[in-house]
Amino acid sequence: MLDFLGSLERTQMCGELRAANAGQQVVLMGWVNRRRDHGNLIFLDVRDRSGIAQVVLDKELTPEGHLKGEQVRPEYVVAAVGKVRLRGKDAINPKMPTGEVEIEATELRILNDTRLAPFSPSEEAIQNEETRLKYRYIDLRRVEMQRNFWLRHEITRAIRESLSGQGVPGDRDSDSDQIHAGGRTRLPGAEPGASRRVLRAAAIATNLQADPDDLGV
């Protein structure tokens, strides 16, 4: 059974937490990237578009949250409430920007469940190209694809800023350059709103300065 979000609001993005945040009470929301069950302790790597944060569910501290932690699987959407704490020296993960800290959860809400995905966004490469394209919204959740999309956003934004001051009137196709809500362009004939739904499912901000109807990143 899913939990209601209610009035709960996210306080930080997962990838923003650092050692300086130790002691702060936070609310994180995102996808479960990985789950590790160590008996009385369950570790969840919670992911959003900014990065990954480790959430710890202690059976003694939050028995209800620990029980929910036993139910969640990769790509479930959760909200975790708890306090940021420094990891022990032996537990620091230098490969993660948030590797010095973890969230000692006092509450876990399951906001959405999912069927078993055909592949995991944590995989670096997908061998079956047909499967990757069929489940494009999952493919776009991968770190590599998120990085590509953000880079494209930065390049496109820089080009548009340059053209806005130097472009010659009439030197671009008026159809393909049609401006829509949010300052984005849409390819001629593309279904309005279709790519926005894909972007939302892929955890990509829909206000990026890149053509959301061309997802070949």
Among 88, 112, 136, identify where a domain stops: 112
Asked whether residue 53 falls in the same domain as residue 142, the answer is no
Residue at 67 is within a domain: yes
Asked whether residue 36 falls in the same domain as residue 79, the answer is yes
Asked whether residue 159 falls in the same domain as residue 198, the answer is yes
Q: Is the pLDDT of residue 89 over 70?
A: yes
Asked whether residue 108 falls in the same domain as residue 149, the answer is no
Asked whether residue 37 falls in the same domain as residue 75, the answer is yes
Residue at 171 is within a domain: no
Residue at 63 is within a domain: yes
Higher pLDDT pick, 8 / 170: 8
Asked whether residue 142 falls in the same domain as residue 201, the answer is yes
Asked whether residue 88 falls in the same domain as residue 145, the answer is no
Residue at 106 is within a domain: yes
- Whole domain around residue 44: which residue ranges? 14-112
Q: Is the pLDDT of residue 61 over 60?
A: yes
* CATH assignment of the domain containing 70: 2.40.50.140
What pLDDT is recorded for position 76? 94
Among 96, 112, 128, identify where a domain stops: 112
Residue at 190 is within a domain: yes
Average the pLDDT over 137-162 and give the result: 83
121 residue type, one letter? P
Residue at 3 is within a domain: no
What pLDDT is recorded for position 205? 67
What pLDDT is recorded for position 83? 98
Torsion of CA 56, 59, 62, 66, to 10 degrees: 70
Q: Is the pLDDT of residue 167 over 70?
A: no
**Residue 19 DSSP SS3:** helix
Structure token pair of residue 70: 């036993």
- Neighbour count for residue 152 (Cβ, 10 Å): 17
Structure token pair of residue 37: 């069950």
Structure token pair of residue 122: 């944590």
Residue at 28 is within a domain: yes
Number of domain units in the chain: 2
Among 66, 88, 112, identify where a domain stops: 112
Dist. CA 76–CA 37, nearest whole Å: 16
Residue at 215 is within a domain: yes
pLDDT band at 175 (very low <50, low <70, confident <90, very high): very low
Structure token pair of residue 90: 């032996």
**Residue 207 DSSP SS3:** coil
112 residue type, one letter? N
Asked whether residue 215 falls in the same domain as residue 126, the answer is yes
Structure token pair of residue 145: 């694809």
- Percentage of residues of the chain with pLDDT beyond 70: 79
- Burial category of 116 from C-beta neighbours within 10 Å (exposed 0-12, middle 13-18, buried 19 and up): exposed
Asked whether residue 89 falls in the same domain as residue 154, the answer is no
Asked whether residue 146 falls in the same domain as residue 192, the answer is yes
**Residue 42 DSSP SS3:** strand
Asked whether residue 135 falls in the same domain as residue 88, the answer is no
- Neighbour count for residue 63 (Cβ, 10 Å): 11
Q: Which of 187, 181, 215 is nearest to 200 (CA)?
A: 215
**Residue 171 DSSP SS3:** coil
